[in-house]
Amino acid sequence: MDWQPWQGTEREDFFNAVARHRRTAWRITLVCGVAYAVLALVMSLLLAPLLFGVAGLVLDILSLLFPTPDLLAYAGKLLSPIVDDPRAVPLADLLSFILLASAPGLLLMLMVAWVVSRAIRHSALFDTTQQLGRPPDPLSLVERQFANTLEEMAVAALIPAPKVVIIEGGANAAASGMDAQQATVVIGQSLLALINRAQMQGIAAHLIAAIADNDMKIGMRTASVLGVFALLTRLSVSLLDKDSFAASRHLMRALCVPTAASQAFVLAQLSDPFIDASLPAASQYDNKLGWREWLLMPLMGPVWFSGFLGGFVSTLILSPGIAWAWQQRKYMADATAVRLTREPDGLSTALSVLSHANTSLLSGAWASHLCVVAPQQTTGMIISVFPAVERRLAALVRMGASHQPMATPSSVSPLWIRLLVGGLLVVMAGLVAVLLPLLVIASTMLTMLFTIMPIAILHALLR
């Protein structure tokens, strides 16, 4: 019967594996949350002169018609002691000033996050009223078998059976929806022709585990967090570029107008923030500054640098951290699948089969992390949100799976690999530590020259 030999201390209980990966995922998520809050605060402070300046000038114009508060004079009175002697300012007053100055920028980011979340919620993957695919064919034995297997695993996990849809796609599957009561399992039609009954049970258990562990809502928040910085960076970097100005206007209009077409356009932009798919092959303009560039010059310091800073930190710090946390959730879903089936060979052989197949499934790269295995589309992230199949097989072997033909990596990496990775991390940390203060200093200087001085002149003329 090909019994699995006893593996001694290498054997891991699936309950312990689930708990271990859950702890690791939440610790990494906590670190990413702190980094996200710090980055949002810094970007908001960089945007503060522009936002407060625009609000102050609007009040100055209205003061020509009726009395209005002098916001810029009030802001200058608060800022003056901090600029003159920051060490003499009490800590409580300094924190109050920082919170007050960052409030408009934080509000702007919350609005962008709400727009991104709304676009994701109204997409076909999360809106159950939209037709994503077709239901399983009652005359197809393999489709009915997969649907029945999902129902069996849902009963074992004590959750409602998800809705099942079949779409034209590769050998892959994904779980989507807002919660377990509204969950939908999307199955690529090519998957059903490659797997047997035991492998089908392993994949179904992985999908049900992701639904039971609330991976769908966490995945939506993940896409929203990365999408905020991607959109702000894309908008700010392309706003001052002649070739991309039309695309930035289109993005601004899509963020403000909640139509189905605009939400689809917003979802299409949730990728690498420094890649502009609409950029023409050759520049259509010369390098001379026109009236539009001079008019937008006050945005250079607060907008362009804050957007570049957000994209830079998001790409080098937030995205890898979130990808690492999501890898732990994939390990956790595999371990939970073993807990549901008590049979790790089904999932391990299925992963081996899918590793050599066409796994493209969902058209949007922002939703690829919801799949069982990594789709073949490019996601634009430095670190993949999916663990390597070899490592997932190694984790399943420790839970009792038979060895697969694929070479499984050792639990301890070679010394030279660890030294190389450590060196790259040190270089990256040093690069971030050097560039971040330089970006903040450059943004402050340009803001004072092109933003604060024109606003001060206009304020003096209007008041």
Q: What pLDDT is recorded for position 405? A: 53
CB-count burial class (<10 Å; 0-12, 13-18, 19+) for 20: middle
8 Å CB contact between 319 and 381: yes
**Backbone φ and ψ of 357, nearest 5°:** -115, 170
Sheet holding 163-167, edge to edge: 163-167, 184-188, 173-176
pTM of the model: 0.80
Q: Distance between CA 414 and CA 430 in Å, rounded?
A: 25
How far from 370 is each of 200, 206, 213, 282, 335, CA to CA, in Å? 18, 11, 13, 37, 17
| DSSP one-letter string for 61-112 | HHHTTS----HHHHHHHHHHHHHH-GGGS-HHHHHHHHHHHHHHHHHHHHHH
Q: How far is CA 357 from CA 193, 198, 427, in A?
A: 11, 18, 36
Provide the pLDDT for residue 280.
44
Q: Helix (H, G, I), strand (E, B), or coil: what is residue 325? A: helix
> What pLDDT was estimated at residue 292?
64
Query: Which has the closest alpha carbon to 137: 147, 124, 151, 123?
Result: 147
Residue 243 confidence (pLDDT): 61
**Rounded to the nearest 5°, which phi and psi values hold at 188?**
-75, 135
pLDDT of 172 reads 92
For residues 258 and 334, what is the distance between their CA atoms, to the nearest angstrom? 38
Tokens 């522009």 belong to 50
Q: How far is CA 399 from CA 7, 99, 226, 378, 392, in A?
A: 9, 50, 33, 31, 11
DSSP letter for 451, please. I
278 in Cβ contact with 238 (< 8 Å): no
pLDDT per position in the chain (463 positions), as tens?
A: 454 554 444 567 777 888 888 888 888 778 778 878 888 888 888 889 889 999 999 999 998 888 899 988 888 888 888 878 878 888 888 888 888 999 998 998 888 888 888 888 888 888 777 778 889 998 889 999 999 999 999 999 999 999 999 998 889 999 988 888 888 999 998 998 899 999 999 999 999 999 998 888 887 777 777 777 778 777 777 766 666 667 777 777 777 777 777 777 777 777 655 554 444 444 455 556 566 666 777 777 788 888 878 777 777 777 788 888 888 899 999 999 999 998 899 999 999 999 888 888 877 677 788 889 988 765 555 577 888 888 899 889 888 888 655 544 444 456 676 677 677 767 776 776 777 777 778 888 888 888 888 888 888 888 7
Residues 6+ apart with CB under 8 A from 112: 228, 231, 232, 255
| Residue corresponding to tokens 């907008």 | 303
- C-alpha 189/C-alpha 172 separation (Å) is 8
